[in-house]
């Protein structure tokens, strides 16, 4: 399976930076990602830099990217 649109493989993880309209929008987006992560019991690394949110999906137990990570990256695209 190919990487979802906008996602790149960086150091063994799927990574994408989202640019949001404001800091408030960035926080709201992170909360939506958090809700997804809790529902799926799979959690990305998240970095917030003002209006930018960088996410990294990878599977710790596999020490790399799995199909589940690609599926969750795709679901994340729908939240942005």
Domain at 51, CATH number: 3.30.1360.20
Is residue 1, in this structure, part of any structural domain at all? no
Is residue 32, in this structure, part of any structural domain at all? yes
Q: What's this model's pTM, rounded to 2 decimal places?
A: 0.93
* Number of domains into which the chain is organized: 1
The set of residues, in sequence order, having a beta carbon less than 8 Å from that of 8 and lying 6+ positions away, is 14, 15, 16
Give the range of the structural domain holding residue 21, as residue numbers without chain letter: 8-79
Is residue 56, in this structure, part of any structural domain at all? yes
Summary mean pLDDT of the chain = 96
pLDDT of residue 79 exceeding 80: yes
pLDDT on residue 80: 81
- C-alpha R_g of the chain: 12
Q: Is the distance from CB of 4 to CB of 71 less than 8 angstroms?
A: no
pLDDT on residue 40: 96
Is residue 3, in this structure, part of any structural domain at all? no
pLDDT on residue 23: 98
Task: Give the CA count within 13 Å in the CB-facing half-sphere of 37.
Answer: 16
């Amino acid at each position: 399976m190919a990487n979802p649109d906008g996602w790149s493989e960086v150091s063994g993880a799927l990574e994408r930076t989202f640019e949001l309209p404001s800091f408030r929008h960035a926080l709201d987006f992170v909360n939506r990602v958090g809700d997804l992560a809790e529902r799926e019991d799979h959690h990305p690394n998240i970095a917030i830099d003002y209006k930018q949110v960088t996410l990294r999906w990878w599977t710790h137990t596999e020490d790399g990217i799995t199909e589940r990570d690609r599926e969750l990256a795709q679901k994340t695209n729908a939240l942005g």
